[in-house]
Structure 1
């Protein structure tokens, strides 16, 4: 006759790791970098307007490309911040470091989102005059 261990012997122990922590940290970093990219795109947009107004640099679109690329990076970072924040919050399952960092990343992006949108529209609107 063979010995059968009790059923509790086979159950996996509960996970003690910080699930979602990486996504939460990514959310915070992206939420901080997004408005920085948007703010940097404004001087490039202003330089593009000044370049177009002066007669010396006709056809110089490098300023516009730089401003539009940075505005796109700001929008991309905003999307990454929100997506990673949501992943961290829902992946954590319970209140741990992953969920807390996800909530912080979402909160920072919630504060920044209107400023980022305003700055991106400012850069895009400045290009309508050309």
Structure 2
């Protein structure tokens, strides 16, 4: 005869893992990559201005398009970092690895956000006059 515990004694199995950890790690990675993409877009914006000022390359706008693409990537990465950081913080029920990595990603983005916005405006400003 097998032993069956009373119905009131049943405990659901504990979930293993850290909810929100993947989102928190994504937030940190995106927060680190966003300013890199923004910084790389600045020399391309300068090359776009130099290309436009050159009389030999009047129609060469590929530098400016490359700078715009990188500036757009940095904005998208910044949005991904903030959204995934918020998901990690709110999904983690208690202070665990998911919540900690989400908070770290949000903190990195808080430091980076003004620099990214400034660099995107520099790139957009380099396209004035086209």
- TM-score exceeds 0.5: yes
CA displacement at 1:9 relative to structure 2: 4.0
Q: Does the residue aligned with 2:128 lie in a helix, a strand or coil?
A: helix
Write out the 4+ residue segments of structure 1 that deviate beyond 4 Å after TM superposition.
none
Deviates more, 1:9-18 or 1:80-89: 9-18
Match of 1:28 in 2: 28
Cα deviations across residues 46-83 of structure 1 (Å, max 9, x unaligned)?
A: 00000000101011111011000000000000000000
Q: Distance in 2 between matches of 1:112 and 1:7?
A: 54
Cα-Cα RMSD: 1.4
Residues 18-57 of structure 1: pairs in structure 2 closer than 5 A: 18-57=18-57
Q: Distance in 2 between matches of 1:8 and 1:61?
A: 73
Aligned residues, how many? 128
Match of 1:96 in 2: 96
Match of 1:59 in 2: 59
Match of 1:5 in 2: 5
Matched, 1:112 2:112: yes
